[in-house]
Structure 1
Amino acid sequence: MPLIDEADLLRRLAAMTLKEKVALLTGADAWTLTPVASAGLAALALSDGPVGPRGTSFGADTPPSLLFPSPTSLAAAWDEETAYEAGRLMGARAREMGVHVLLAPTVNLHRSPLGGRHFECYSEDPLLTSRIAVGFIRGVQSAGVAATVKHFVGNDSETDRMTYDARIDERTLREVYLPPFEAAVREAGVWAVMAAYNRVNGESMTEHRDLLTGVLKQEWGFDGVVVSDWTAARSCEATALAGLDLVMPGPDGPWGDALVAAVEDGRVPAEVVDDKVLRILRLAARTGALEGVPALEGVPALEGVPALEGVPATPAPPVPGDVRDRLRELAIRGSVLLRNDGLLPLPPGLRKVALIGPNAVRFTAQGGGSAHVTPEHVVTPLEGLRRVLGADTEITVHAGVFPHAKLRPLPPGMATDPETGEHGVRLEHRTADGTVLTAEHRDPAPWWFPIILADEVAELVVRTRLTLPAAGLHRLSVLGTGRHTLRVPGNADQFHERLQEGDDIAALLLNPPSHTFTFTAGAGPIDVELLISPQRNLPYPVTLTGLGYEPPRGTDEKELEAALTAARAADVAIVLVGSDADTETESLDRTGLTLPGRQDDLVRQVCAANPRTVVVVNAGAPWLMPWAHEPAALLWSWFPGQEGGDAIADVLTGAEPGGRLPTTFPATEADVPILSTRPDDDGVLDYAEGDRIGYRAYRPEGVLFPFGHGLSYTTWEYLRAETVDDAADGSVDGSVDGSVDGSVDGSVDGPVDGSVEVTLRNAGDRPGREVVQAYLEQDGALRLAGFAAAEAAPGQTITVRIGVAPRKPSSGPHRLRIGRSAADLPLTCTAI
């Protein structure tokens, strides 16, 4: 951690006026803070997020960045060092983009598989979540960029997230939901914490003094900045006195002049404001935003990473090949092989491969919401397979079914401004009498753009010239709220109205409603006009719009028959099913666990048509798979990021699938212990289950694939396990005994009760990777106590030493059970 001269920070604080101090405590805009010349403070820049830094813009102006595998994929590696590598790479990219504060990681738990941000969180288990978070935070901050652990606390679902009251008893809060945040503070030394939208036990989290000040700052010793989730702060005195330090976004908010007046009237002590400013100055010193303070003092040097002195105007440079290779390796490490009847790895010399499924033609690299970033390019599975299989293998592609409701953005080059001929649209702001106030060119990518509305604007007009690829029935979708009128030559005007309810501005911006119009036209250019009467009763004077498109296509029956014909003729059929960023997204939870559309039927029919079928599920959270035992192999790819297509192809052809499930996959919805995420009529979301979430609560017969499950391309024999009382100082040395020297580090480098040595053997004929898991059996239940990833050559016997997390007090006997998943634990030893 950078060394901080606290006396210097106090001198800078003393040079600031009260108004300068208070101005610093609310964002200057959505993503930056106000610079303070008297303190030598540059404008701190904040950016989402968990799958890569987006920069200080959102929408069509977003610069290209790196798109990492989803956090759940990172957790599936079950390896703190892998998390550190991902964090360090992300932190370096953030610095290149001029970002001081990265709004990641998300350490809320997988309480229900319906949670909309399930893909953005790590696991259902607090220990696994803690270890991945600690590694990631250390990696980010090693680059001189602040990590922000979020959302503190109880924001484990999205339904009514702005208002629901999470009722969590003290024991459950301490043993399940607070530990990842505590590890982030006490072990990783995180520099920022984000307070959530929701309430906990009756108190809004931005006003929760017991948790923000009592637990976080006083008990855990947190010396960083507590920032509100965007628009979460809604009061002045209560939030200021509770321990909130920074209100985002700005420039509006509940503080400003109201906080100045509260200090001057004595309702908020001046030292409370000073403490907040001091924390922001400390954050600036750590991230290189203070004049005269070295940007990376005390931090290992990073070749090619600049020091930050403000917010640069240029985007990050193109992604070098070695970085793409590292992103691909991260996706491979997270890929989970759920079943394999010997078909994988695919053999060489395949003549014909049928690539089938909706996610084969609409591959999903990331989930939706504020975490969304724009990569330079996403490698599709088709591109990856062509690379590894070569020109001698014919690959046919068929969607099979069309389950995804929202249309994709307009293809590049399809839309042109009718006045300038540039790629994009012409946007006009008009008054009630039709007078054009402003007219401007807009790039439609990534297919929507926010628009700030002046008071006199009554109508927006979007005009564009679309080059249609074929004649027939076209589908054009319109995004946003308000009344929409679509005018297409040769078709009657079409109307649609949709109003946004509630005050969750993030929901409007991140998951806006859409409506699909249809029209008939021939191939070639056609002028389209969209008239928008914007909704005015929103909390912010903003609207957004965008266009999506789907060309003429055959019926579902014809597409399915074409896919089955291709499957029958192929040496191997590869079926990609799953979800997309509209289904798994911030601001809404899923309504069920059945794959959208007719995907289940597609899998079953392809498996019947070709017994040599591999199914790849491209999704960020669990979905039901009633057909799971029908394909010859089943691979879970998660949302694997920009290099995901290459990673999938590599795993299918022999790269070791490194992932193990960080969450339990249920057999049916009825088997899920906690399914509903909807608060009751009083707005209460009752966590009455206590610590019985995830694998701790499932009945064995209700589990399709257990927590920790994942296959290797080799086989492992677990030989013996014994506990060792040698880790009182928290350090765990790993060792490997066998024909190849090496070392394996244990998973717990914080407080431990000792360690366990596990001896296992690679009994196969390939090198392999195994995740050895240790569970404490206590009071009739299992709890993950430690883990370690290990690699071994064919025939090699290794001994892995794992640090064991402290157990909760109990008078009963304690046993450690060791194995490869929560349901496969062949070894037992007595816990110390």
Structure 2
Amino acid sequence: MKNMRHVLGVTLLWVAAVTVAQPPVYLDDTKPVEDRVEDALSRMTLEEKVALCHAQSKFSSPGVPRLGLPENWMTDGPHGIRSELLWDEWSPAGWTNDSCMAFPALTCLAATWNPDMALRYGRALGEEARYRNKNVLLGPGVNIYRTPLNGRNFEYMGEDPYLASELAVPYIQGVQSCGVAACVKHFALNNQEKDRHYVDVELSDRALYEIYLPAFQAAVQRGKVWSIMGSFNRYQGQYCCHNQRLLNDILRGEWGFDGVVISDWGAVHNTLEAAYNGLDLEFGSLTDGMEFSVDNAYDDYYLSRRFLELLKSGSIPESVVDGKVRNILRLMFRTTMNRNRPYGSFKNRAHGEVARQIAEEGIVLLQNRDNVLPIQLEKIRKILVVGENAIKMMTVGGGSSSLKAWYEVSPLEGLRARIGDVAEVVYARGYASPDPPKSVMYTIPSLQTDRSADDLLAEAVALAREADYVIFVGGLNKNGHQDCEGGDRKSYSLPYDQDRLIEALAEVNPRTVVVLVSGNSVAMPWADRVGAIVEGWYCGSEAGNALAAVLTGDVNPSGKLPFTMCERLEDYHAHALNDSLVYPGVNHREVYKDDIFVGYRWSDKQKKDRRPLFCFGHGLSYTTFEYGKAVLDRKQMTAADSLRVRVSVKNTGSRAGAEVVQLYVSDLKSSLPRPIKELKGFSKVMLQPGESREVEFVLDRTSLSYFDDAKHAWVAEPGHFEVLIGASAEDIRSRAGFELKP
């Protein structure tokens, strides 16, 4: 008994000691994050610090188990949560519970011109990532649409830096509200896939700051994004994942970024540059970023063993790794170490509703001759649906954005579900693409056919003669050298001889509607021969339902183009110069001689015979809108003032609809060449028939400024300006002038 009392007494003393001891600050989430970061950092060995700076698997990096610090788990986006891969390989892990909701591609989100939709998109995506216990979502992508040949344009938000900024910020806020870090990408100048691993981009500082950086800056300073991904390409001779100018001088120095810089997979090339030039977390070395890799190579990464050796020898001071670890710890405390982060949800029907609404708002009605659309259901008996894209899965393929979708409603399925009770819906293939090469990352169901192109065309044309409507669903797909990571398109034309098929269909049926499924502009030599043209994007799980709702008029289309659609490839500035140095580069060197004149900024300067086929901001409706005069609250302002612009909009048609009111600013005379006009505001308003609403915009000096290379500063130059209010970049409804005083 005496011995028992002694043991019990020792135990009680030990418990008492534990009870009164203070927990580590890094575990106490009532303490400021920076205190927690410093406390955790002070407890780590050099080996533990270095381990945090590189991957341990294809999509995770280690924590510090000894200190209770968790691993970081990344997931590809930006359109859905990628299925699980094997630890050390690109092959699927074979899980049965990792099928996600597929959301519309970001080109479609941009076409909504609706920040509220971007917020809902980000929140739904964040909830799915959180449920799967991912703490970094690799998205959104905000690289600028410079050429329609870029295979990855479908993942981005168009050609205009202001539009991309206004939609990226709420997307990021939505994701991060779920305790998941958004990772804006690809920083920077990743505007093509051809030669993406090596091309060295040269451009003026003015083009860099006015066109290619604003969306990233907005993500950092307004969206407060917690992580950012570098790009494969080079800038000023250095790879962008360890680039002194981009990462140290601009990102952290000028913008004050306090998050984590993550490499793109396989985009790190040098230990010393990676150590000193702003990179925090290395992924995918000894890989091409998509398929090829070396197993169990993590100790050979540039920020792994060789980094540790240089630190131990004193060749690199420990303060360098401490800076990286602080950023990584900050990420942990904002995500996995935040006990108040919500739990999230997965494969949620509410997420399907979000996906459908984004798709419905993003689909763009480009042309509608003789009011062919909406389909008059009471007057039809038979509809013919033609085209491989009416049945082809579009949630798979395309590279790292490929998804294992919970479900995907095809255009044919959506039309049959909506129309099948009132009319016969028949299908003809019309054309066929070859099955893409097999990939270790995804499997695309085979649509292989032995029928000849002539046979497929003849069948479709014969059926078209008897149909009340022909709905042709074509465009591009996620095969290599189309809308696909790793390579650019090889032609501006539609692939698989679709032009010939469309022309043949239009010749026998005037009610031919062309639906383009794509993330890029294409040539449309048949545009004046078809009744209607619809840009249907890659709309994810609810693609077919959303398309059917727009075509039948259940939803009034309100999408507007986030990029210019030109008649010819040569009408884009990067191609107008007919200079390989401008695109795609010569000997891994590329010079952006198109400078600030990208998209509508270039189209505005062209003669009438070179106007776009469909301009930036264009999109039709099944109703009509009347604009009032733009009214300014002052005729003069200084750089310290703000200017309010008001304009009334009225729905003058017979059905409810939404209109995107666009505000452009024109500097009537400036010291440096400027675009004729630039987007500086927009507002999407829903109006009932006969309803009017006043829309207000606020302009300040940033709305009037250009970037002066010589001064390395934004300059609002005194002089006369004009506000232009329009329904698109070319459909200007009202103008008003004012003066900026010194």
Normalised-by-shorter TM-score class: 0.7 to 0.9
CA contact (8 A) 1:46 1:56 kept: no
CA contact (8 A) 2:101 2:407 kept: no
Query: Counterpart of 2:615?
Result: 706
Secondary structure class of the residue paired with 1:373: coil
Query: Counterpart of 1:620?
Result: 519
Letter in 1 for 2:730: A
Alignment CA distance shift 1:704-1:25 (3 Å): same
2:711 maps to 1:822:
no
Letter in 2 for 1:689: D
Query: Counterpart of 2:556?
Result: 656
CA contact (8 A) 1:560 1:602 kept: yes
Query: Counterpart of 1:267?
Result: 315
Per-residue deviation, residues 168-226 of structure 1 (Å, max 9, x unmatched) = 21121111111111100000000001111111122221221122111111221111000
Letter in 2 for 1:614: V
Alignment CA distance shift 1:709-1:551 (3 Å): closer
CA contact (8 A) 2:83 2:99 kept: no
Query: Counterpart of 2:649?
Result: 760
Q: Distance in 2 between matches of 1:761 and 1:10?
A: 58
Which deviates more, 364-373 or 255-264? 364-373
CA contact (8 A) 2:434 2:448 kept: no
Secondary structure class of the residue paired with 1:388: helix
CA contact (8 A) 2:395 2:408 kept: yes
Alignment CA distance shift 1:791-1:88 (3 Å): same
CA contact (8 A) 1:168 1:201 kept: no
Query: Counterpart of 1:201?
Result: 236
Alignment CA distance shift 1:344-1:548 (3 Å): closer
Alignment CA distance shift 1:207-1:551 (3 Å): closer
Alignment CA distance shift 1:367-1:337 (3 Å): farther
Secondary structure class of the residue paired with 1:590: coil
Per-residue deviation, residues 576-630 of structure 1 (Å, max 9, x unmatched) = 1111101211110111110002211111111111111211111111011111122
Q: CA deviation at 1:679?
A: 4.1
Letter in 1 for 2:648: T
TM-score, structure 1 normalization: 0.76
Per-residue deviation, residues 674-720 of structure 1 (Å, max 9, x unmatched) = 13674443321101221011100122533100000001111011111
Per-residue deviation, residues 499-550 of structure 1 (Å, max 9, x unmatched) = xxxxxxxxxx69xxxxxxxxxxxxxxxxxxxxxxxxxxxxxxxxxxx79745
The counterpart of 1:396, out of the listed 426, 436, 451, is 426
2:681 maps to 1:790:
no
Q: CA deviation at 1:762?
A: 0.6
Letter in 1 for 2:552: T
Alignment CA distance shift 1:551-1:244 (3 Å): closer
Query: Counterpart of 1:636?
Result: 535
Letter in 2 for 1:816: V
Query: Counterpart of 2:334?
Result: 286
Q: CA deviation at 1:380?
A: 0.9
Q: CA deviation at 1:802?
A: 2.1
Alignment CA distance shift 1:690-1:681 (3 Å): closer
CA contact (8 A) 1:108 1:177 kept: yes
CA contact (8 A) 2:184 2:216 kept: yes
Secondary structure class of the residue paired with 1:806: helix
Query: Counterpart of 1:125?
Result: 160
Alignment CA distance shift 1:829-1:366 (3 Å): farther
Alignment CA distance shift 1:269-1:701 (3 Å): farther
CA contact (8 A) 2:377 2:422 kept: no
The counterpart of 1:93, out of the listed 120, 128, 136, is 128
Query: Counterpart of 2:189?
Result: 154
2:416 maps to 1:386:
yes
Q: CA deviation at 1:266?
A: 2.6
2:724 maps to 1:696:
no
Query: Counterpart of 1:686?
Result: 591
Secondary structure class of the residue paired with 1:769: strand
Query: Counterpart of 1:276?
Result: 324
Q: Distance in 2 between matches of 1:179 and 1:366?
A: 31
The counterpart of 1:645, out of the listed 523, 526, 544, is 544
Q: Distance in 1 between matches of 2:457 and 2:47?
A: 66
RMSD over equivalenced CA pairs, Å = 2.4
Q: CA deviation at 1:405?
A: 2.5
Query: Counterpart of 2:504?
Result: 605
Alignment CA distance shift 1:667-1:568 (3 Å): same
CA contact (8 A) 1:576 1:616 kept: yes
2:80 maps to 1:52:
yes
CA contact (8 A) 1:285 1:295 kept: no
Query: Counterpart of 1:362?
Result: 392
Q: Distance in 1 between matches of 2:616 and 2:448?
A: 42
Q: Distance in 2 between matches of 1:578 and 1:632?
A: 17
Query: Counterpart of 1:254?
Result: 302
Alignment CA distance shift 1:781-1:601 (3 Å): same
2:493 maps to 1:594:
yes
Query: Counterpart of 1:115?
Result: 150
2:383 maps to 1:371:
no
Q: CA deviation at 1:556?
A: 2.0
2:695 maps to 1:667:
no
Q: Distance in 2 between matches of 1:790 and 1:219?
A: 36
Query: Counterpart of 1:242?
Result: 277
Query: Counterpart of 1:578?
Result: 475
CA contact (8 A) 1:194 1:226 kept: yes
Matches within 5 A, 1:147-546: 147-249=182-284, 251=298, 252-287=300-335, 289-290=336-337, 293-296=338-341, 305-306=343-344, 317=346, 319-341=347-369, 342-349=371-378, 350-362=380-392, 364-365=394-395, 368-402=398-432, 404-406=433-435, 448-449=439-440
Secondary structure class of the residue paired with 2:541: coil
Q: CA deviation at 1:670?
A: 2.2
Which one has a larger percent strand, Structure 1 or Structure 2?
1
Secondary structure class of the residue paired with 2:507: helix
2:64 maps to 1:36:
yes
Q: Percent identity?
A: 36
Letter in 1 for 2:523: L
The counterpart of 2:463, out of the listed 566, 588, 606, is 566
Letter in 2 for 1:5: V
Which one has a larger percent helix, Structure 1 or Structure 2?
2
Q: Distance in 2 between matches of 1:407 and 1:46?
A: 27
Q: Distance in 2 between matches of 1:792 and 1:374?
A: 38
Q: Distance in 2 between matches of 1:244 and 1:694?
A: 32
CA contact (8 A) 1:48 1:54 kept: yes
Q: Distance in 1 between matches of 2:546 and 2:216?
A: 31
Letter in 2 for 1:648: L
Q: CA deviation at 1:361?
A: 3.2
The counterpart of 2:93, out of the listed 61, 80, 83, is 61
Alignment CA distance shift 1:283-1:295 (3 Å): farther
Letter in 2 for 1:759: S
CA contact (8 A) 2:395 2:403 kept: no
Which deviates more, 341-350 or 598-607? 341-350
CA contact (8 A) 1:26 1:33 kept: yes
Q: Distance in 1 between matches of 2:141 and 2:444?
A: 31
Letter in 2 for 1:64: S
Letter in 1 for 2:684: A
Alignment CA distance shift 1:693-1:386 (3 Å): same
Q: CA deviation at 1:267?
A: 2.5
Alignment CA distance shift 1:577-1:717 (3 Å): same
Alignment CA distance shift 1:704-1:56 (3 Å): same
Alignment CA distance shift 1:37-1:575 (3 Å): same
Structure 1's unaligned 5+ residue stretches are 297-301, 307-315, 409-446, 450-508, 511-545, 731-750
Per-residue deviation, residues 764-810 of structure 1 (Å, max 9, x unmatched) = 01111000001111246111111111111111111011233521233
TM-score, structure 2 normalization: 0.85
Q: CA deviation at 1:320?
A: 3.4
Secondary structure class of the residue paired with 1:814: strand
Alignment CA distance shift 1:753-1:161 (3 Å): farther
Letter in 2 for 1:658: S
Secondary structure class of the residue paired with 2:725: strand
